[in-house]
Structure 1
Amino acid sequence: MFRRTFWFTAGAAAGVWATQKVNRKIKALTPESLAAQAADKAVEAGHRLKEFALDVRAGMVQREAELGDALGLDAAPDDARALPPQRHVAALDNQTKPPHGNSYNRNEDH
């Protein structure tokens, strides 16, 4: 009699446990829950990417300072921070013809 009661109770407890586990899994797979999980993962990935970018930038600044020290470029003159002068491009004269008198068409050679 006690044996049957023990196994009945153990079976009922296992059934309740399994039912709760399945219900939690079903709730986790609803569209709203999946969307919330995806949003959380995206925000977390964005934070990690931002931290990585900041670490890379800090490393670049440190390495640039090391190279500047090694090359003796500690202090740049004030003019070096200004923009370089604008270049003037000479316009090509489109009126000039080739020496043989006819215009050249590169597709004629094929």
Structure 2
Amino acid sequence: MFRRTFWFTAGAAAGVWATTKVNRKLKELTPESLAAQAADKAVAAGHRLKDFALDVRGTMIQREAELGAALGLDAPPPPDDEQRLPAPRRRAALGPRTTPDTTTTVIKHSRSFNRNEDH
């Protein structure tokens, strides 16, 4: 008698457990649930990509600083740097000229370039 009761209870418990598992899996496979899972994975991938880009940028800045220090690019220029440059480069370093050398020509087209205007 106890044996039958034990196996009946064990079978009922296994049936309840299996039914619960199947119902959970069916809820996970609904279109709404799948869309939510895909959105969560896309957001997580976006965060990983952003973290990767930030790591690359940080490493790039660090490496540029190392190269600049090794090549002496971070050192301030000597005060008489403007005198050592050739004349064309000295003018370029000082900025644009105040008087323009060339005149600008305005070209006007006689026809419109809107293709929908002809139809």
Aligned residues with identical type, % of pairs: 87
Report the RMSD for the aligned CA atoms in angstroms: 1.7
| Cα offset, 1:31, TM superposition | 0.2
* Runs of 4+ deviating beyond 3 Å: none
Task: Tell me the distance in 1 between the aligned counterparts of 2:16 and 2:45.
Answer: 37
1:74 aligned onto 2:53: no
The amino acid that maps onto 1:15 is G
Q: For 2:70 and 2:8, locate their aligned partners in 1 and report how far apart those are by CA, in whole Å.
A: 80
Distance of 1:39 and 1:14 partners within structure 2? 34
Does 1:4 pair with 2:31? no
- Determine helix, strand or coil for the equivalent of 1:74: coil
Unpaired segments ≥5 residues, structure 2: 78-92, 97-119
1:94 corresponds in structure 2 to none
Number of aligned residue pairs:
79
Q: How far apart, in 2, do the equivalents of 1:39 and 1:70 lie?
A: 46
AA aligned to 1:51 is: D
Shift of 1:75: 4.0
Partner residue in 2 for 1:57: 57
**How far does residue 69 in structure 1 lie from its aligned partner after superposition?**
0.5
**One-letter amino acid of the structure 1 residue matched with residue 74 of structure 2:** D
1:95 paired residue number: none
